[in-house]
Amino acid sequence: MNANAFRHFYDYHFTENHKIWDSYVTPLSHEQFTQHVDYSYGSVRDQIVHIMSVDDTWFSGLRGVENPKPFNPATFDDREIIRAHWDNVEQNMHDYLAKLQNEMLFEKPFADGEDKDLIMWQVLLHVANHGTDHRAQILRVLNDLGVKTTSQDYIFYVYDHL
C-alpha cells in the first residue's frame, strides 16, 4: 500500500465520475435528470449531488478545513452549476492527493469525534468505495430510464490504462 496506489485508484474514481456524467447524464432531459426515484438517494441529480457532497466533506476534513454542510440537491438544479462545483471538489481532492506521502497512510487524520480512530488509508478507501457504490446506483436508475450503459469495473479501467 502506497500513496501512488491511492492516486491511481482516485484517477479511476474521477474517470468513472466523468464517464457517467459525459456519456449518460448530459444527454438526459431535465425531467429524467430530476425524476424522483424511490431508491437510495433518489434521482440521478440527487445521487450525483450526494457523491459530490460526501467527497467534499471527507476531503475537507483531511485538509483540515471546516466541513461543509451536506449539499441540498434542490439548490443544484442546473447541470452547469453542478459540473463547475464538482470540478472544484475534484480539484481540491487532486491537490490533496498530490501531496499524499506513504507514511501519511498510517496516520490518524482526525483528532476527535467518531472518526478519531480511523487510519488515513481507511478513509481514502471508504471515499472511493462510496463513489463506486453510488455510481452503481446511478447506473441502475439510468437503466430504469431506458439508457444503455456500460460497466464501471475497475479492471476495465486498468486494461485501458496499461
Reported as a single tens digit per residue, the pLDDT across 118-159 is 999 999 999 999 999 999 999 999 999 999 998 889 999 999
pLDDT averaged over every residue in the chain:
94
Instruction: Please tell me the number of Cα atoms within 13 Å of 44 on its side-chain side.
Output: 26
Asked if pLDDT for residue 101 goes beyond 90, the answer is yes
Between 162 and 48, whose confidence is greater? 48
What domains sit in the chain, N to C, each tagged with a CATH number?
A: 3-160 (1.20.120.450)
> pLDDT at residue 3 above 90?
yes
* pLDDT score, position 1: 78
Over range 60-73, report the average pLDDT.
91
Percentage of residues of the chain with pLDDT beyond 90: 84
Whether this model's pTM surpasses 0.85: yes
**In the structure, what pLDDT confidence band is assigned to residue 21 with cuts at 50, 70 and 90?**
very high
Q: What is the 3-state secondary structure (H, E, C) of the chain?
A: CCHHHHHHHHHHHHHHHHHHHHHHHCCCCHHHHHCCCCCCCCCHHHHHHHHHHHHHHHHHHHHCCCCCCCCCHHHCCCHHHHHHHHHHHHHHHHHHHHCCCHHHHHCCCCCCCCCCCCCHHHHHHHHHHHHHHHHHHHHHHHHHCCCCCCCCCHHHHHHHCC
Q: Which of 79, 71, 70 is nearest to 32 (CA)?
A: 79
Q: What is the pLDDT of residue 124?
A: 98
Report how far residue 47's alpha carbon sits from residue 41's, in angstroms, rounded to the nearest whole number: 5
Output the nine-digit C-alpha cell for 93.
481532492
Q: How confident is the model over 86-103, as a mean pLDDT?
A: 97
